[in-house]
Amino acid sequence: MSETEGTQYCAVVLGGGDPGDAFAAAHGVAVKALIPVGGEPMALPVLRALRGSGRVGRVAYVGPTTPEINALIDERVTDHGSLLGNLEAGVDALYAGGVQPGERVLVVTADIPMLRAAEVRDVLDAVPLEAALVYPVVRREVCEAAYPGVRRTYARLRGGSFTGGNLFILDPALIEQFLPRLREVLAARKAPLKLAGLIGPGVLLRLLLGRLTVEALETRVSEILGVPARALITPHASVGTDVDQDEDLALAAAHLRGDSVP
């Protein structure tokens, strides 16, 4: 048994979005999480996976809901218009609802409808307890084997190419400590010179050249945020496969029907 096996978590599900999201508008809904997949909002399979995992207690959902979504959540939270704003609001709602200080929080986006309960359980049981922030990543070959032809963005490291997961685990007691720096990093992600100043030009160069190891990246992220941060390599492609376009929607619908994916 791993040291985290059986540990209970609370969860924040991020189902908000840009009111001007063209993808959502094209499908006649306010936000992407409400786009139908197999006749129901794509957020529903995500919530069922959390509930079915046996590892998740209270769930705060940020964003507009439906009666079916409301039946699977404990706290409904108004969309605050940004990723970090929604994260903070979701964590605050969990605390207001009785979450104990120091309890870990699983944060999940509502646009990964291929996620399964067993995969949630497997990820959570592998989380290292000493880390304040844990970010699952998926190898490129795992994604391409599970979903041939799927298009994702990959970072090339010395140990392989990885795509980021659409969930992460944090210690909410330390959120105020690392949130300001996280805001800086997100604000600088499209400004190379500013990003180089935050990460360090040497680290950024090694990252761009594919010479940076996962361990070195963990160390630098921990230094930047001021808390222990760890990457968790997971074998579950669904963790790194969100629905961003119609071809992703078709893939998810086929997967939920149980069709073979070409």
Say if CB 58 and CB 75 are below 8 A apart. Answer: yes
- Is residue 210 pLDDT above 50, yes or no? yes
Quickly name the fold that domain 9-257 has: Spore Coat Polysaccharide Biosynthesis Protein SpsA; Chain A (3.90.550)
Compute the Cα dihedral for 250, 251, 257, 259 and give only its sign: positive
The model's confidence at residue 115, banded by pLDDT at 50, 70 and 90, is very high
Query: How many residues are there in the chain?
Result: 262
The model's confidence at residue 180, banded by pLDDT at 50, 70 and 90, is confident
Amino acid, res. 209: L
The per-residue pLDDT for range 15-54, each reduced to its tens digit, is: 998 777 899 999 999 999 999 998 999 999 999 999 999 9
Instruction: State pTM to two decimals.
Output: 0.90
Could you state, in order of their start, the residue ranges of all structural domains in the chain? 9-257
Residue 238: name the closest of 118, 125, 158, 130 by CA.
118
Residue 126: name the closest of 55, 60, 57 by CA.
55
Q: What is the mean pLDDT of residues 150-155?
A: 87
| DSSP single-letter state for residue 10 | E
What pLDDT is stored for residue 242 in this prediction? Answer: 94
Question: Within 13 Å, how many C-alpha atoms sit on residue 224's CB side?
Answer: 24
Scan for tokens 């840009």, then name that residue: 18
Pairing of strands 229-233, 133-139: parallel
Q: Identify any residues that bridge with 107 across adjacent strands, giving them in sequence order.
A: 12, 168
Give the H/E segment covering residue 76.
strand 75-77
